[in-house]
């Protein structure tokens, strides 16, 4: 419109160079059958009991949800062996990460994280006046913990460890994290972001419960968006030690955990639902292994993923590969000139990925 008034507002200078979050590209509606493998969503709908609880909760949608989410926090406290007051809920683990930044980081304070890792990290830090300190991954797509420890300064307030790492897939071991924590001052908070924990090989998954008990500067981040299939409801949480948990409660958005989200998350913790989710996690792990074996046979050398995705480190050819895939019915997530991530999705989508990756190599 040409009759808009002049806009003379003053935005924060920190926004000038702030990158925008890029969500996974949706499948185009052009008549071509496409599968969306760009957002690490679950290929399964919510478990029936979860869906029923969400629908039933809408009867009370004219009322605000329990701001304290006491029933859910009590269940999660039992799950993690902590007092319910040590559980902080919000709209996904990304929102809880933002709460951590608000609670810990002032203007000019630093936050260390691996790169490339979760795309929201530098946005959350920069938007609150903090200084992002990205530390390059190793050639195999893993955290370079030695370099990350060396990046800690007197201004460091928070370190973010994403394991399994999104988008590359490798994970950290308990021994690696223990060794890292020994090198980090105990006043610096170390957040262990385990959004993809359920897809990890259970035999070698990070022993975060023990790490949390032993270290007063460790906080755990979890989400219901991935395996539980509640991405559209937006709910995640932190498990923190008491002083930090109180601070998170001070800065979080009131009523962030909606009524349907609380209802769905609570039922997701029931033993019979957990059994079904464990079955689904096993299926995804099996599919991931099948896909990675097929890609290795084709000659691909990919990072060892423990997430519900695989990563193609294609560098400058990343966008080209994503477009090649899209034209053949599979939407992937390209990361600039670093690589391309493909979600382990429906079996048909995974078959399509194998076909496309093979066709790419045979050109």
pLDDT of residue 27: 63
H or E element that contains 75: helix 70-80
Instruction: Read off the pLDDT of each residue in 72-79 and give the average, rounded to a whole number.
Output: 98
Contact 230, 40 (CB under 8 A): no
Nearest of 88, 97, 107 to residue 21 by alpha carbon: 97
pLDDT at 345: 98
Structure confidence at residue 16 (pLDDT): 79
* Those residues with Cβ within 8 angstroms of residue 261's Cβ, 6 or more apart along the chain or in another chain: 91, 224, 230, 233, 234, 235
CATH number at residue 29: 3.90.1150.10
Residue with the two structure tokens 């034209």: 327
Within-domain flag for 146: yes
Tell me the angle at which helices 271-298 and 48-57 cross, rounded to the nearest 10 degrees. Answer: 120
pLDDT at 116 over 90: yes
- Examine residue 199 and state whether it is found in any structural domain, yes or no: yes
| Same domain membership, residue 279 and residue 206 | no
Cis peptide before 166 (omega within 30 of 0): no
Distance CA 266, CA 47 (A): 12
Residue 1 has pLDDT above 60, yes or no: no
| pLDDT, average across residues 53-70 | 96
Helices (H) and strands (E) in the chain, counts: 12, 12
Which residue, 253, 270, 287, sits at the end of a domain? 270
Q: Number of structural domains, the chain?
A: 2
**159 and 183 inside one domain:** yes
Provide Rg for the chain, Cα atoms.
21
For residues 197 and 228, membership in a common domain is answered with yes
User: What's the rounded Cα separation, in Å, for the pair 53 and 261?
Assistant: 10
What mean pLDDT do residues 305-329 have?
A: 97
Structural domain span for residue 98? 48-270
Q: What is the pLDDT of residues 11-39, one digit of tens each?
A: 788 777 777 767 666 666 666 678 999 99
195-246 pLDDT, tens digit each: 999 999 999 999 999 999 999 999 999 999 999 999 999 999 999 999 999 9
pTM summary value: 0.93
Q: With pLDDT > 90 as the criterion, what percentage of the chain qualifies? A: 90
Judgement on whether residues 35 and 70 belong to the same structural domain of the protein: no
Nearest C-alpha neighbor of 256 from the set 274, 269, 238, 268: 238
Q: Is residue 247 located within the same domain as residue 114?
A: yes
H-state helical runs in 174-317:
174-181, 208-214, 242-251, 259-268, 271-298
Percentage of residues in the chain having pLDDT higher than 70 = 96
Predicted confidence band of residue 8 (pLDDT cuts 50, 70, 90)? confident
Q: What mean pLDDT do residues 49-76 have? A: 97
What pLDDT does 17 receive?
A: 78
pLDDT in tens, 163-205: 999 999 999 999 999 999 999 999 999 999 999 999 999 999 9
For residues 60 and 164, membership in a common domain is answered with: yes
Looking at residues 139-145, what average pLDDT do you find?
98
* Residue range 342-361, pLDDT digits in tens: 999 999 999 999 999 999 99
| Mean of pLDDT over the chain | 95
Confidence of residue 2 (pLDDT cuts 50, 70, 90): low
For residue 205, what is the domain's CATH number?
3.40.640.10
The answer on 210 and 348 residing in a single domain is: no
In this structure, which long-range contacts are made by residues 204-211, counting pairs with CB atoms below 8 Å and at least 24 apart in sequence? 204/171, 204/173, 205/171, 206/163, 206/171, 206/172, 206/173, 206/174, 206/177, 207/174, 209/80, 209/81, 210/174, 211/174, 211/177, 211/178, 211/181
Sheet holding 309-312, edge to edge: 309-312, 339-343, 333-335
């Amino acid at each position: 419109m040409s009759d808009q008034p002049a806009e003379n507002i003053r935005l924060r200078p920190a926004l000038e160079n702030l990158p925008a979050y890029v969500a996974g590209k949706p499948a185009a509606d052009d008549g071509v059958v496409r599968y969306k493998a760009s957002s690490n969503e679950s290929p399964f709908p919510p478990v029936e009991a979860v869906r029923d609880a969400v629908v039933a909760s809408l009867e009370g949608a004219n009322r605000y949800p329990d701001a304290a989410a006491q029933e859910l926090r009590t269940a999660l406290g039992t799950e993690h062996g902590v007092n319910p007051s040590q559980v902080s809920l919000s709209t996904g683990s990304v929102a809880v990460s933002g709460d951590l930044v608000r609670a810990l980081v002032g203007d000019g304070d630093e936050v260390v994280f691996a790169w490339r890792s979760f795309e929201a990290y530098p946005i959350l830090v920069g938007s609150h006046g903090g200084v992002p300190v990205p530390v390059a991954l190793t050639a195999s797509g893993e955290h370079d913990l030695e370099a990350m420890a060396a990046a800690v300064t007197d201004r460091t307030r928070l370190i973010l460890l994403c394991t399994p790492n999104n988008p590359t897939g490798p994970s950290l071991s308990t021994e690696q994290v223990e060794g890292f924590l020994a090198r980090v001052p105990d006043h610096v908070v170390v957040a262990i972001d385990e959004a993809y924990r359920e897809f990890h090989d259970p035999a070698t998954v990070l022993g975060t419960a023990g790490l949390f008990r032993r270290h007063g500067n460790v906080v755990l981040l979890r989400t219901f968006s991935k395996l539980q299939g509640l991405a559209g409801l937006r709910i995640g949480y932190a498990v923190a030690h008491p002083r930090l948990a109180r601070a998170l409660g001070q800065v979080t958005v009131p009523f962030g955990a909606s009524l349907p989200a609380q209802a769905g998350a609570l039922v997701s913790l029931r033993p019979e639902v957990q059994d079904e989710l464990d079955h689904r996690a096993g299926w995804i792990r099996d599919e991931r292994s099948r896909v990675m074996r097929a890609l290795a046979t084709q000659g691909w050398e990919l990072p060892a993923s423990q997430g519900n995705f695989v990563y193609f480190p294609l560098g400058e050819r990343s966008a080209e590969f994503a477009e090649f895939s899209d034209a053949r019915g599979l939407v992937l997530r390209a990361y600039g000139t670093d690589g391309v991530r493909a979600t382990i999705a429906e079996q048909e989508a995974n078959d399509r990925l194998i076909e496309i990756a093979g066709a790419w190599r045979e050109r």
